[in-house]
Amino acid sequence: MSETRPVIRLRPKAEARAIRHGFPWVYADELVTDRRTKALASGTIATLEDAERRPLATVTVNPNSKIIARVMERDPQATIDRDWIAAKLSRALEMRARLFEAPFYRLVHAEADGLPGVIIDRFGDAAVIQPNAAWSEAMIGEIEGALAEVTGVTTIIKNGSGRARSLEGLAEETLTLRGGVDAPIEVPMNGAIYLADLMGGQKTGLFYDQRPNHAFAARLAEGARVLDLFSHVGGFALAALAGGAREALAVDASAPALDLAARGAAAMGAADRFATRQGDAFDALEALGREGARFDLAICDPPAFAPAKPALQAGLRAYERIARMAAPLVAPGGYLVLCSCSHAADLAQFRAACTRGIGKAGRAAQLIHTGFAGPDHPMLPQLAESGYLKSLFFRLD
């Protein structure tokens, strides 16, 4: 450790025990924020001490964020450099290589993989980095180099967009760091073929987190008429077609995403069983209801309606509304899948909102399965936010 490393200190009433037990964040109101601390550059590596000046951990500091410090290592003497990053990547890669036959997965899931605020999704020989914490922005070159060294990928994209970066005070920027791609990449998953736009798509271009839930839905899809609402690039719809669905309708607000979904269906030889409808999902639900449409399997996988606590109640009302509107479209004995990626809404709250909506639609339901993110999205047990995804599978009367 450098002798000149800054030292920051918890306030007397802050809970040092949480850090000792593995909680990875320090909030701004828990830290002594004198002029010296406020003057630290975003992404600075520092030593965190408790109120009695006992060293607790090596942290990265961002005075511009409500999460003012993130734990990098509980060793207060740790050196944070390219070798440290490479060791974290090697550990993450070892688990994914055991779990997945092909190199298409989330390689790094932020705090849960020991790289705070960093998301890396792998697409064969390409990878997309989301550096959502200030330290990772400052050390993007070291991350890129270590990533190429450890994995052998030849194309690396930096996707610097999204709400998480704005909360860190970071500018939006998407660029190619190494190699390049000139077309969407085909991603095989659950027997389907997805097309991921690494440069212009949403987030990193594909959502790997729903992989096990896609697979469970596909088991319900044989011979079924399927509705995939908030479909993005065809997540549930293409998996259902791979599972033997008679036909699938994908609905999304994004025309480019639906175009990629259609191209995926064509690539897997299912274009004749696939249709799209572009527009607002709630408007589409209303229109389908007026048309008297009925589906054997309907999936609603919206963006986060409750991304933070202030939006919780409005978000729960939105989940209830979508359940109420979707349930009448499900044929008797059919299945309704309702998903949430909201950090602020826990499983019990989300399940209650969905159950209310189904009940208000006049339908009786069995909850047959509760799904979560796949193992390439590990959860840090001390950080509830890392286990954000919930998927509820109901069978309706």
Residues belonging to the active site? 341
What is the torsional sign of CA 350, 258, 215, 368? positive
How many Å apart are CA 243 and CA 227, to the nearest integer?
14
CA distances to 7, 32, 37, 228, 260 from 16, in Å: 15, 13, 18, 46, 48
In the chain, where do the E strands start and end?
A: 7-9, 25-27, 44-49, 55-61, 67-73, 104-109, 118-123, 126-131, 155-160, 173-178, 185-189, 192-196, 225-229, 247-252, 274-278, 295-300, 330-340, 365-371, 390-396
Instruction: Return the residue matching tokens 């990928």.
Output: 153
Residue indicated by tokens 């607002």? 280
Residue in this structure with the two tokens 């069978």, named with its chain if needed: 395
Q: Where are the alpha helices (DSSP H) in the chain?
A: 16-20, 35-38, 82-99, 134-138, 140-151, 163-167, 211-219, 235-242, 255-267, 281-291, 312-326, 347-360
